[in-house]
Homo-oligomer: A and B are copies of this chain.
């Protein structure tokens, strides 16, 4: 099982003040969930006064919470926004119904995945095989360069975006076996895009994931639908069947999203 995270999942240099303020939230990780003003100032290379100004904005909006002793942790606003997404997010209003409808046909686990920056993760899960334990806990991030969920997203990214990714992360891309040179990377993804689905077992090696792309609008990839089964139990015919199923359901989701968009 499972250790998919590269050491640094953060995107390139933030410049604007707002990005730096939002960047404060990146500090709060599983390993370091509590930060003092001193350590923030040091890490962000800013003066204490500036850190306190940042904290003022983040505390007022509930994104951070005070612990005493100059220490801070993430705040309750996040849980409020989580509910807001659960009750009103277009993707979460559309996809679960489609996933439930194909539950028995999948006979495994389904993951609804989304991405931002260099991270991919599940935001909703539908299970029918209790034996399957994926590493994709809701909200747990993985590299955009690993997993079927990621690959089908990459494959549908605009090539301008892909080019930038390749220039900035050639090392990670090579390490993930996605090619060492731009034409190789591009052509590999082009093939995935043409096939429509990505199939992989690189996060949980005993499982197989079959991922199809979800579009928020034509050409705007916003996530993926992944069907997960136990690899040893899946024949080539099963894979074909599941691919067609994933593709069809993902298209249904995309279609409904494009309607909901307006």
- A residues sitting closer than 8 Å to B (CB atoms) are 11, 14, 16-19, 21-23, 25, 28-30, 33-34, 53-54, 56-63, 65-69, 71, 73-91, 114-117, 119, 121, 123, 137-141, 216-218, 220, 222-223, 257-258, 260-262
Contact flag A58-B22 (CB < 8 Å), given A79-B138, A83-B139:
yes
Chain A interface helix/strand/loop/mixed: mixed
Chain B residues near A54 (CB, 8 Å)? Answer: 18
Chain B residues near A14 (CB, 8 Å)? Answer: 57, 60
Chain B residues near A21 (CB, 8 Å)? Answer: 18, 21-22
How many copies of this chain?
2
Chain B residues near A71 (CB, 8 Å)? Answer: 261-262
CA distance A68 to B16 in the complex (A): 25
CA distance A144 to B247 in the complex (A): 47
Chain B residues near A67 (CB, 8 Å)? Answer: 90, 216-217, 220, 257, 260-261
Of all chain B residues, which has the CB nearest A61? B22
Q: Which of B18, B84, B91, B119 contacts A80 (CB under 8 A)? A: B119
Closest 9 CB pairs of A and B: A68-B217, A83-B139, A62-B116, A33-B88, A76-B114, A18-B21, A82-B82, A18-B57, A67-B261
Of all chain B residues, which has the CB nearest A36? B262
Chain B residues near A91 (CB, 8 Å)? Answer: 65, 73
Closest Cβ of chain B: how far from A89's Cβ, in Å? 6
CA distance A114 to B50 in the complex (A): 27
CA distance A84 to B139 in the complex (A): 8
Chain B residues near A66 (CB, 8 Å)? Answer: 216-217, 220, 222
Report whether A75 and B22 are in contact in the complex, using a CB–CB cutoff of 8 Å: no
Contact flag A68-B216 (CB < 8 Å), given A61-B116, A77-B116, A90-B33:
yes
CA distance A86 to B82 in the complex (A): 12
Of all chain B residues, which has the CB nearest A218? B68
CA distance A140 to B217 in the complex (A): 30
Of all chain B residues, which has the CB nearest A87? B30
**8 new A-B contacts at CB < 8 Å, known A17-B18, A66-B222, A67-B217:** A17-B17, A18-B21, A28-B88, A33-B84, A67-B90, A67-B220, A73-B89, A80-B140
Chain B residues near A85 (CB, 8 Å)? Answer: 74, 78-79
Closest Cβ of chain B: how far from A151's Cβ, in Å? 18
Chain B residues near A222 (CB, 8 Å)? Answer: 65-66
Report whether A139 and B82 are in contact in the complex, using a CB–CB cutoff of 8 Å: yes
